[in-house]
Amino acid sequence: MVWKVDGLREFENQQPNVTLCYHCIHQILESVNHIHQHDIVHRDLKPENLLLASKCKGAAVKLADFGLAIEVQGEQQAWFGFAGTPGYLSPEVLRKDPYGKPVDIWACGVILYILLVGYPPFWDEDQHKLYQQIKAGAYDFPSPEWDTVTPEAKNLINQMLTINPAKRITADQALKHPWVCQRSTVASMMHRQETVECLRKFNARRKLKGAILTTMLVSRNFS
């Protein structure tokens, strides 16, 4: 049995710590690595498309909603059309360049960033400005939220959010990154309560945005 639970909302309800972040991203990367080995690109990785096997702590995290997924030939790069969710789109998709498996890794980097501090690396109410941020790779690790996050975690995010897809880390390489595979030797620091509050605000904003979009669609259908 699989619970249809928004990964971020469930994460918000659990005791937040780096170990929980690691558990989530490790399982996400394993799933992404698996589909990439079978030449499948998800194209719409985001917290809403993560499933939990149960509501228990340490439950397995699974990928869902393969409606936008495509099949590629190995490391094939091509223009497969514009697809995905604004805040998780990669620079190459926004530039309408050829793309492939690296778009999923970019989305994983955005998800990891959110899991660690409770807000996304790229954000603007104006979608055009948001896309400009993404294409420029304009994100940082501001204080004080990032003061307690290890350099290894930041390094992994940097490698996932590399603008050039050819230089972006792969799922297999990410699973071998020190922050992922050497948890016993990489220092873990507890999340500050502010991270949880940021996550709650981010979730509330996503819920409001979803409600607004639903209202717009309903109005359009009945107008």
Catalytic residue from among 6, 39, 44, 126: 44
Amino acid letter, residue 199: L
Mention every residue, 6+ apart, whose C-beta is less than 8 A from residue 116.
18, 21, 146, 149, 153, 157, 191, 195
Distance CA 19, CA 104 (A): 23
Q: Residues in the chain, how many? A: 223
Distance CA 154, CA 220 (A): 43
Distance CA 59, CA 132 (A): 37
Distance CA 175, CA 25 (A): 9
Residue 64 burial (CB count, 10 A): 14
Distance CA 166, CA 99 (A): 10
Does 6 qualify as catalytic in the annotation? no
Angle made by CA atoms 219, 201, 65, in degrees to the nearest 5:
60
Chain-centre distance of CA 201, in angstroms? 17
List, by residue number, the catalytic residues.
Answer: 44
